[in-house]
């Protein structure tokens, strides 16, 4: 995966549109489907909890299906990129202990993974306005970059390959 420059304003605008569309669609579909289910399947006695729950569940499935089918639309480019980046970061975080050991042992792949992880985290934090720990993150990134420089490693950071994690599973 390659880190790409994202226009924060465009990303936030598109993300907000997607969130609002999902909320409105969820509310509308849930209400409509639940009403239809109650009309055709309810006896008029007792609770309709499971019919209402079914309406919400069906609406969630429909929204998920639609999002899956439009995820590659150019309008969603930034939103999908950040979504994919967060998934890669989550995968990397599962192996942090072994990656940290590799960084301590000056392993090039571990340093590459750690640098990518920190740079990607910084990008996500800035896009999501999560700047509480950005100073600490910048310090960690500088430390890893200094370590790479001191070891005279020539690591190309243009493209991150998820297969590098196989050595740390």
Report whether 25 contacts 67 (CB < 8 A).
no
User: Do residue 102 and residue 140 come from a single domain?
Assistant: yes
* 154 φ, ψ (degrees, to nearest 5): -105, 90
User: Do residue 119 and residue 55 come from a single domain?
Assistant: no
User: Do residue 55 and residue 16 come from a single domain?
Assistant: yes
Handedness of CA 96, 99, 104, 109 (dihedral sign): negative
Position 87 in a domain: no
User: Do residue 17 and residue 67 come from a single domain?
Assistant: yes
Q: How many domains does the chain have?
A: 2
Q: For residue 51, what are the domain limits?
A: 8-73
pTM, entire model: 0.84
Cα–Cα distance measured from residue 71 to residue 27, given in angstroms and rounded to the nearest whole number? 21
**Length reported for the chain:** 169
**DSSP SS3 for 2:** coil
Position 85 in a domain: no
Residues 102-135: pLDDT tens digits? 999 999 999 999 999 999 999 999 999 988 999 9
């Amino acid at each position: 995966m390659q880190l790409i420059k994202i226009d924060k304003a465009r990303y936030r605008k598109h993300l907000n549109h997607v969130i609002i569309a999902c909320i409105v669609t969820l509310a509308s579909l849930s209400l409509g489907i639940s009403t239809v289910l109650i009309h055709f399947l309810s006896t008029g006695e007792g609770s309709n909890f499971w019919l209402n729950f079914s309406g919400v569940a069906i609406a969630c499935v429909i929204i998920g299906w639609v999002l899956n089918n439009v995820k590659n639309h150019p309008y969603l480019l930034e939103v999908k990129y950040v979504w994919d980046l967060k998934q890669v970061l989550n995968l990397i975080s599962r192996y942090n202990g072994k990656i940290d050991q590799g960084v301590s042992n000056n392993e090039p792949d571990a340093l590459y993974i750690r640098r990518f992880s920190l740079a990607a985290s910084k990008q996500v934090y800035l896009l999501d306005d999560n700047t509480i720990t950005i100073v600490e993150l910048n310090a960690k990134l500088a430390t890893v970059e200094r370590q790479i420089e001191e070891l005279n490693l020539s690591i190309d950071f243009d493209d991150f390959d998820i297969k590098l994690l196989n050595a740390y599973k």
